[in-house]
Amino acid sequence: MKETSLDPIAIALSEDIGTGDVTTVSFVPEGRQGLGRIIARERAIVAGGEIAAEVFRRLDPQLTVNVLQPDGAALTGGETILEVRGSARSILTAERVALNFLQRLSGIATLTRQFVDAVGESRVKILDTRKTTPGLRALEKAAVLAGGGANHRFGLHDMVLVKDNHVGAGAGFSGFAETIHRLRQERPGIQIEVEADRLEQVRTLIDIDGIDVILLDNMKPSEMREAVALGRDKVKFEASGGVTLKKVRQIAATGVDFISVGAITHSARAMDMSLELTHVGQ
């Protein structure tokens, strides 16, 4: 597939504005100046403030934008996250796109922080996945970092992750060691992770040189604990599958090194934020 470079801000503005903002042009006098404040309406971890600011700047470079709350800031509700001053028309036209980015990304950061807090003092790292909004992966993974989580692979190109479908589509575990050895020679610096959903598979994998991480997929906590005991000091372990806020602390207690949570990107709720516009000057 041919590689393309897509600008999510340009795409979002284009799809929202189309041929023009007919409401604003009709009802807001040209030259009217305004001060807009984006305000948090609930507790949240901020992410995407600079993206929201860039939306305003991209639409109208004459706008003055100040981000008052950096990514990772913990808000209790009522704080001003961003101020934008200049053409009232421009502020209103960019408002929804800026809010969409900020609310969505802050929702990811907030949910990530909830998972991070849920595992307490455990050394386990909360990881994201590739279950992201198409075209927004870089922004959403940055939001995970703002929430205190860590990034898993960005895409198919920067890490080897052998899942059950790869094994099923190939020759199973036959010749697995040889393939891992060849990969190590061809891509010496790449991380190699292999999925296991049964303890028998874990026993097989920990004896293969070159595997960095074993992904324990949909295993019970008792099975995870046994797997970690089998492979301690040989490989690292990642837990995945059906991870919820209620379960994550118990999973962390099994001794795994990582817990990947698809929900922090695919199911995060947009945070409640709004823009208040006041008239200034002409």
* Residues tagged active-site: 96, 131, 163, 195, 217
**Tokens 């906590």 belong to residue:** 221
Within 8 A by CB and 6+ apart from 30, the residues are 89
Q: Are β-strands 44-45 and 80-87 bridged in parallel, bridged antiparallel, or unpaired? A: unpaired
Q: Are β-strands 33-40 and 273-279 bridged in parallel, bridged antiparallel, or unpaired? A: antiparallel
Cα gap 3→5, rounded to integer Å: 7
Q: Report H helices in the chain.
A: 8-17, 22-27, 49-59, 88-118, 137-146, 164-169, 176-186, 199-205, 221-231, 248-252, 263-266
Cα gap 31→62, rounded to integer Å: 12
